[in-house]
Amino acid sequence: MEYGKVLRFHRVKQGLTQNQLAEGIISSAYLSKIENDQTVPAVEVLELLYERLGLDFSDSSYSHPSKEKLKEWYESIVFKRREDAELLMNELLQQKETLANHHLYIFFELYRIRYLLLENEVEKAYEAWENIRQHKDTFDDEMNFYFHLVSGLMKYYKSKFEDSYQDLMEAKNYSSSLELEDWQYSDLYYLLALSTGQANYISASIFYTSLALEIYQSHYDLTKSADCHIIQGINFSRLRNYSKSLENFDLARKIATQTNNRVQLKLVYINIGVLESRLENHMASISSYKKSLEFVDEINTALDTFEFLNIIHGLITQHYKLNDENGCIEWINEGERQLISYPSKPHELHFKVYKYIMTENEDIQELLENEVIPYFQESRDHTYAIRYAMFLADLLEKQRMYKKSSSYLRLAIQLLNKHSHLGGGISL
């Protein structure tokens, strides 16, 4: 057992200095060596240090019954069994050793971060992450695996997709030294599929989605299989392999219909709307977006809000491309009404741009230059930074402002070259 790490963890947790813990037992320099696993002290010394910290020297958590209960709790979190997760968490909190034992406490806190994310308590999850991070030098490989996995998931929730991907790859590296169950591997691959997809590493996303899907299918997990088909549909659409994309969306739709999963059906129709738009089938795209609205139920999370406003944005763009002024203005007005209840800065800007276009507002150039393009550049949403830069370049060219037009065209080309993996068109 790594006694040094346990001592350091509880010393820091109790707010003691090395001098305070070592006083009357050993020198602080010797304690430092113990904590850094540079020496093996006598059992009598360890017993005295443990006693001062209020710990049971004979206790071992590696085969403790609570460890199994913790794993059961984590599994319920991963599979989003909320009632089971809450019940098991309360049971664990009633067992004093869960919080008193170094090994068990670390796992409890790491799993709690994921539980908080499940409950959409992102800021509380971040606070828990900040707290546990100070003990990182006491982690073993298993702890490091979960630390990087929940770090990657938390950064995904914060839309830091590149950072999320890097942390999840660290988790994957640690997984090679562990004996994980199939559901843990499929979970890791699924999270990697999500993060690589959002970071626009499409080939990597296809690879990890395939790995996750293979495990889910072998365990007859229909819901997660449908999730994987949705991700693959998005991936192949970005690669412009539209037949493969539709094939995956159709498989997801069949499963979601069978399981009556309204969230998945909503996502399927949203993404078919995007695909039809890329094929310039604008009426079919509008039909799919409207179909997705039938599956919008309660809007409780930031993700729900984002998806809902994306549907409205999609309807605005499709009516605009059909030169349907009335339809475009109707959905702009609907978007503005929804922003009152569900504020979102990117969607506020999207709706504002189209409103300025449709009303021929002369301030559109200023809006794009001073608000819209800087915002999407700052938030690293390069797809929209490119689209709006191209639109502004075209607008300025029509006004014969050729020098300024070329500067925004250069910006769009630079971003496109730098982020060539983005794919897709660049029309507004």
In tens, the pLDDT along 352-383 reads: 999 999 999 989 999 999 999 999 999 888 88
In terms of Cβ atoms closer than 10 Å to its own Cβ (0-12, 13-18, 19+), residue 56 is: exposed
For residues 423 and 222, the model is more confident at 222
- Report, as an integer, the average pLDDT of 343-350: 95
CA distance 164 to 185: 17
Find the angle CA(346)-CA(352)-CA(358) to the nearest 5 degrees: 140
Buried b (16+ CB within 10 A) or exposed e, 96-123: ebbebbbbbbbbbbbbbbbbbbbeeeee
- Report, as an integer, the average pLDDT of 60-85: 82
Buried b (16+ CB within 10 A) or exposed e, 134-145: ebeebbeebbbb
pLDDT at 57: 66
CA distance 97 to 52: 17
pLDDT above 70 covers a percentage of the chain that reads 94
pLDDT at 96: 65
Look at residue 251 and tell me whether its pLDDT is greater than 80: yes
- Report, as an integer, the average pLDDT of 119-145: 91
pLDDT at 259: 95
Question: How far, rounded to the nearest angstrom, does the alpha carbon of residue 331 sit from its chain's CA centroid?
Answer: 29
In tens, the pLDDT along 152-192 reads: 999 998 888 999 999 999 999 999 999 999 999 999 999 99
- Report, as an integer, the average pLDDT of 382-391: 90
CA distance 72 to 85: 9
Look at residue 267 and tell me whether its pLDDT is greater than 60: yes
Lowest average pLDDT, out of 12-16, 73-77, 332-336, 404-408, goes to 12-16
- Report, as an integer, the average pLDDT of 252-272: 96
For residues 51 and 89, the model is more confident at 89
**E-assigned strand segments in 253-332:** none
pLDDT at 181: 94
pLDDT at 420: 55
For residues 58 and 158, the model is more confident at 158
CA distance 381 to 72: 38
In tens, the pLDDT along 5-56 reads: 777 777 877 788 888 888 888 888 887 887 777 777 877 787 788 878 777 7
Give yes or no for a contact between 22 and 28, defined as CB atoms under 8 angstroms apart.
yes
Structure tokens that stand for 77 in this block: 């979190």
Give yes or no for a contact between 61 and 30, defined as CB atoms under 8 angstroms apart.
no
What are the distances in angstroms from CA 367 to CA 46, 127, 301, 315? 67, 37, 29, 22
| pLDDT confidence band for 79 (50 / 70 / 90) | very high
Give the torsion sign (CA, 222, 224, 226, 228). Answer: negative
In terms of Cβ atoms closer than 10 Å to its own Cβ (0-12, 13-18, 19+), residue 83 is: exposed
Give yes or no for a contact between 269 and 289, defined as CB atoms under 8 angstroms apart.
yes
What are the distances in angstroms from CA 270 to CA 287, 311, 387? 10, 7, 20
